[in-house]
Amino acid sequence: MAYVNFYYELDVYKLSRQLAKDVYSISNNFPKEEKYSLTDQIRRSSRSVGAQIAESWAKRRYINHFIAKLTDSDAEQYETQHWIEVALDCELVSTQERDLIVKTCEIINQKLNAMMSKAPLFCTIAKK
């Protein structure tokens, strides 16, 4: 594992930013009547993935808090997957757009799980 000094150097964080950007772009095409429902929900959950990763970084002194925030991030990517599936069901996105978001979420999930399984390494670094 290559050591990073800041959360924004993490590949998973960079990927979460790309997810939020892709969701924003795709949701720009949602109808105006979805502004305060589906559009807000999917944008909020996709943006929260990276926010939770950033918060986890600040909580590395306490392994359980670190893992809890990573778990929250993982939950947000699953919520994003749910909302993109709803958008597909409502014919607001193409299968290709849905697949892009789901694939990104799956990679984020894998990376978050790897971080959680190696949490002591991240948290040991914080104590130095």
User: What total number of domains does the chain contain?
Assistant: 1
SS (H, E, C) 74-127: HHHHHHHHHHHHHHHHCCCCCHHHHHHHHHHHHHHHHHHHHHHHCHHHHHHHHH
pLDDT at 1 over 60: no
pLDDT at 104 over 70: yes
pTM, two decimals, is: 0.94
Decide if 3 is inside a domain. no
Decide if 37 is inside a domain. no
Report the CATH number at residue 50: 1.20.1440.60
* Residue 102 to residue 84: CA distance in whole angstroms: 8
Decide if 58 is inside a domain. yes
Write the pLDDT tens digit of every residue in 44-66: 999 999 999 999 999 999 999 99
